[in-house]
Structure 1
């Protein structure tokens, strides 16, 4: 009797499950978030630390330059023209540019001069005068419209360019742009994995804490990304052009003496005041007009710190605008 043995059907290994498109996208985003985070983290730390110092820099300046910024005489303020003249005696070779006047009796008056020896026209030489005693308390280089003194200008240079000049703006470009990418990638992973049960290991708890903090801080990260890109090289330039095209820039009043009455009224609405020169022949800025100009500005409702900019030529006018106290 013969019998045949039938081979049992071979058990084939299960075919690997195909990854869904969602899972593939999540894996890619996860790797992007992890790998990019490792490389960009040092730049983000530098940007965060330098940005923190920059936010504190006005307060730091008030401490470091207290002797220069404080008027200790307690005497009534002398005419502004005399204060300017006292500063001009310190730099008779420089062109008077502007004067910054505070209504704080303990604050010195800043008299600004154009100095071609400085890095750019954004820098000006500032002489500080006690408005009561006319004593010169010091002189420092001031940067930009924010009234930044050397300490804040140095911190700003580090935050913007890492003290490497214009090529250093690539650092801020990288840090600001990748902060947004990393934040959005983290938000994507949190959304996809939000229903998964978290483990109990230390790694799982750390990952959950990381996700929770990331979601709470996401709006702040995105805000820092947008504001940080304005300091960068490529994106900052493009954003500047976009603001110009959309007229999102500070309006510039017509400062020519031939401005019409309508233009003069519009300039008053923009908190700017113009004072006509008495002579059509340009012989330099007549600083004796400064007191009259400031008085007119105060009567027009301008308060606090005033930026008083001198005429550029015989056909230009004084312009005053409210500044921001540091």
Structure 2
């Protein structure tokens, strides 16, 4: 047996015997996996570190909202409330140049009603939202919101997704999400295969307390990475659904397989011919302009949704165009989720269509549950604490990886390149190259960067081979 300097170790150790049956694929693939894990970790590590740090900040935004916007979100509880028409009228008076786009009635006596507007000067995808005391009609605050997110949470959310760099910044998060699962799987393979050969289960799942120097660091890097691997895979999969390029492909695939989130139709029934016995029709515009009419219609639509069994919290949404139905949707994303929705004829208050959460396809449910868990909403504080632990785990694994490189940096005497001098098998390189092409169709950022790595690694290995010849 010869002694080799393994790039994952801090000192030479005898090369362990390779059991029969394992001398083919893994032996040819291992040098490539080692270099892939090392070099990708070196270059993509900063992006993953940024995503983990901003994600860590994002996990505490619910508490930040309660701290910073308590006056806007909460009111003294009272036994009686104003009707929705009066609340919408109060909000419209506070945003006189806006058009109502959504009404979220107070879900409990201690909360405010949210009325969102499309108004001049509001950024794309944002709304100007008035927070109304449902008992007094007082407007507690008017804030710029992104969906249901308040300003601070929206700012941190954008920081996490794009670093406030627009579409260019979205590439950073897609790069991090695309490579996170590759680093997790490659690191898991290197760590578990080596430890299994040494029959060291305890040292596989727990760090070696007796080790010193780089060996101790490597032990912590491997064992913490092992425990965090499932979480990394989950964050990568759910994060890619929001990405710029892969996200579009995921949406197209879900649409092709009928896995999309179901929605109610906003089409109104065709007008029937009047008869002498027919009662007079209520003629309320589909998209009323006057605040009183908006509030009156919203109240009629909400009453119909309540009759159909929709409980709080709900969002009442006017149609974007005249001649369409209003929709009422449950918006509870914590467990158990409430996601029922109905469409309502604004003139008659008749429920036209109902979509229940129970009717969603399993893939659509899993997507909704996964996204809610990614945002720390699904299980409340427990979900947040789990994400905090996962983010901290990713941060320390990345930092330990850079620390291990520093202890074995190329400028040190006797340092060797990751993967040693052993060249990967041709079959392994071709297989990974084919995988890169296939992945590139669905995950363009991952595929292009993986092909670039394979090309660069092949050129570098050829250069080293010629120098040593």
Conserved? CA contact 2:287–2:318, under 8 Å: no
Pick the aligned partner of 2:89 from 63, 85, 89. Answer: 85
- Quick one: distance in 1 between partners of 2:297 and 2:25? 73
CA RMSD, 1 decimal: 2.6
The alpha carbon displacement at 1:205 in A equals 3.3
In the TM superposition, 1:177-326 aligns within 5 A as 177-194=178-195, 195-196=197-198, 201-258=212-269, 278-279=283-284, 284=289, 286-287=293-294, 288-324=296-332
Hey, what's the Cα distance between the residues in 1 that align with 2:307 and 2:298?
14
Q: Which residue of 2 aligns with 1:128?
A: 131
Q: Distance in 2 between matches of 1:184 and 1:282?
A: 52
Tell me the secondary structure at the aligned position of residue 215 of structure 1: helix
- The answer (yes or no) to whether the contact 1:277–1:317 under 8 Å persists in 2 is no
Partner of 1:165: 166
- What's the offset of the Cα at 1:67? 0.7
CA distance 1:312–1:204, shift in 2 (3 Å): closer
Normalised to the residue count of structure 2, the TM-score between the two structures is 0.57
Q: 1:259 to 1:166 in 2, by over 3 A?
A: farther
8 A contact 2:77–2:109 mirrored in 1:
no
Q: Which runs of 5+ in 1 are unaligned?
A: 1-18, 261-275
Over 3 Å counting, the alpha-carbon distance change for 1:258 and 1:20 in structure 2 is closer
Confirm whether residue 66 of structure 1 aligns to residue 70 of structure 2: yes
Cα-to-partner distance string for 1:266-292 (whole Å, 9 max, x where unaligned): xxxxxxxxxx96346875362213223
1:100 aligns to what? Answer: 104
Q: CA–CA distance in 1 between the matches of 2:77 and 2:199? A: 70
Runs of 4+ in 1 over 6 A off after TM superposition: none
Following superposition, the deviation at residue 141 of structure 1 comes to: 1.2
1:196 and 1:80 map into 2 onto residues whose CA distance is 69
State the TM-score, normalizing by the size of structure 1: 0.81
Closer/same/farther in 2, CA of residues 256 and 129 from structure 1, 3 Å limit: same
Q: Is there any run of 5+ residues in structure 2 with no aligned partner, and where? A: 1-22, 201-209, 272-280, 334-376, 378-469
Residue by residue, what CA displacement relative to the aligned partner does 1:45-97 show, whole Å, maximum 9, x if unpaired? 21112112222212211221101111236362101100101111112221122
CA distance, structure 1, for counterparts of residue 270 and residue 224 of structure 2: 56
2:153 is matched with: 152
Secondary structure of 2:223 counterpart = helix
Q: CA deviation at 1:98?
A: 1.8
Higher helix residue share: 2
Offset from partner CA, 1:130-171 (integer Å, 9 cap, x none): 011111101011212xx0111111111111111111100111
Aligned CA distance change for structure 1 residues 323 and 22 (closer, same or farther; 3 Å): closer
2-side partners of 1:117 and 1:239: how far apart? Answer: 33
Contact 2:85–2:299, Cα closer than 8 Å, also in 1: yes
Q: Which residue matches 1:143?
A: 146
Tell me the distance in 2 between the aligned counterparts of 1:177 and 1:237. Answer: 14
Which has more radius of gyration? 1
